[in-house]
Amino acid sequence: MLETVRWITAEGKVLAGCEEGVQLHPGKLRIIDQTRLPQELVYLELDDIDGIVAAIKRLSVRGAPAIGCAAALGLAACAQHLSEKDFLPNIGKLADQLAASRPTAVNLFWALDRCRNKENMEELIQEALAILEEDIQMCQAIGRHGAPLIEEGMGLLTHCNAGALATGDFGTALSPMYVAHEAGRKFTVYSDETRPLNQGSRLTAWELHQSGIDVVTICDNMAAQVMKEGKIDLIIVGSDRIAANGDAANKIGTYGLAVLAKHHGIPFYVAAPTSTIDASLEQGDLIPIEIRDAAEVGAAEGVRVYNPAFDVTPNELIAGIITENGLHRSPYAFG
């Protein structure tokens, strides 16, 4: 078992849920299979585009920043199997295959757009590693900007997983928590289960517990009661895409938390890198929402299932958006 996810990432052994596959294992991408956590810590070594696409689709690697890092490093890994003459004719095709894996996380397209037009293998590898290093610096900056929101003895609520497993280092929503914890502040984090795939109970709770942070898992439908009981002072979540007006898409169930937070007078914050902001979309209604397999939900035979992976929280419910550039407050205008 890892001593803490955060320390391992800081040492460069596990980055964005990925090891530095290009440097340590030429032609391979090494990632944690997050579908096996917390029961098992299992690594996958992938060296073909179909395998990497499948891993992203089935959420072996997930979280918008981590998807971007894995796509860039995966593209570089696969490209190393191409001859010099085949590099330019095929790099765009490989990038297109990766881009089709997840429709909502804008970091995926942002990272691939930075990589797809490189002229040779060395340029591609350096760009992929630069994306990873920038993500690490981004995580730490979000933590510094968000940590002052967390006071001694607070109760925090988060949804899904936006920590070290979802990014290159500290995470986004969890980064302020790690920074505050390292500063010696004591607080409790309530981690929503996050149905239907339980990223909160499987990943966030495991990750925070490994780091020594006091964490309590609750079912998604307990959040209102926990707020009513006065246990929650602050909510911080991540985001997979933010529109120009500050509307934010995140894991399904986030919108409901924001509505509940408004009713109970609890400040609701979103933490995400600027690469998650899609200034081409004026508002959240334009964000494409991924619809996932009905089998994830579990229903009686013959019953239809609707399984959107994300919802969009309107900007008026968001007290602030924490990026690597600072804390932004409404009215939001990214562009």
DSSP letter for 239, please: -
Distance CA 89, CA 177 (A): 45
Contacts of 273 (CB under 8 A, 6+ apart): 65, 107, 135, 138, 142, 172, 323, 324
User: Read out DSSP for 153-218?
Assistant: T-EEEE-S--SGGGSSSS-SSSHHHHHHHHTT---EEEEE--TTTTHIIIIIHHHHHHTT-EEEEE
Q: Which of 233, 240, 247, 311 is catalytic?
A: 240
> b or e along 16-54 (b: 16 or more beta carbons within 10 Å of the residue's beta carbon)?
bbbbbbbeeeebbbbbbbbbebeeeeeebebbebebbbe
Distance CA 72, CA 132 (A): 8
DSSP letter for 27, please: T
Question: What is the token pair recorded at 335?
Answer: 């562009």
Distance CA 250, CA 103 (A): 13
Distance CA 236, CA 268 (A): 6
Distance CA 76, CA 124 (A): 6
Q: How many CA atoms, within 13 angstroms, populate the side-chain half-sphere of residue 68?
A: 30
**Does the active-site annotation cover 33?**
no
Say if residues 86 and 69 touch (Cβ distance below 8 Å). no
Matching residue, tokens 């929280």: 313
Return the active site residues.
240
